[in-house]
Amino acid sequence: MPLTQPGDKRSLYKFKVVAQNACGSVVNYAEQSMARCPDVPKCVLSLQAQCSLMIKWGAPYNGGSQITSYEFEIETANYGRFAPVVCNNGAQNECEVSMDTLRAHPFQLRTNDNINVRMKACNSVGCSQWGDTPHSRVTVQGKPPAMSQPKGTITRAITTF
């Protein structure tokens, strides 16, 4: 029987084992690591010059087993459904999603839409619950300004064949 209380974040539990037969009993104590799913991560969003969405988070408690991946879903508030988004640099505790991706199907992001992100952490036991954080919403203001034309005079052109 574990000597820790439910909800205790420790992953090392102590057990008392009693073996008994006609000759008597033997008591032994053992410690056992009992991994569980990680805690729910909390994320913060920011827009990078209206060109991409940056998701950043702190690693949650890992449940006694190393976190192996993070899963993300993005919803635009005007459509009310979440869709998965792939992030390859999740090990760095940040994920950048381009506005081109968000403006395409299935997100179909438009100017003045709100974006909501939820994420979960996974380890060898399983995944945490989806986490919605109140400050995980941003509003897209519009497309970035057009790039300006270069100024100056071209003095020499290089041609290669």
One-letter amino acid of 72: F
Are 48 and 98 spatial neighbours (Cβ–Cβ below 8 Å)? no
pTM above 0.95, yes or no: no
Are 57 and 119 spatial neighbours (Cβ–Cβ below 8 Å)? yes
Exposed (0-12), middle (13-18) or buried (19+): which is 71, by Cβ within 10 Å? middle
| pLDDT tens readout for residues 1-58 | 334 444 455 555 677 778 888 888 887 777 666 788 999 988 888 777 678 888 888 8
Residue with tokens 């179909």: 108
| pLDDT tens readout for residues 60-118 | 999 988 998 889 888 876 667 888 888 765 557 888 888 888 888 888 887 777 788 88
Parse the chain into domains and list their residue ranges: 1-34, 43-139
CA distance 103 to 108: 4
Are 94 and 44 spatial neighbours (Cβ–Cβ below 8 Å)? no
Q: Which of 3.30.1490.100, 3.40.190.10, 1.20.1250.20, 2.60.40.10 would CATH assign to domain 43-139?
A: 2.60.40.10
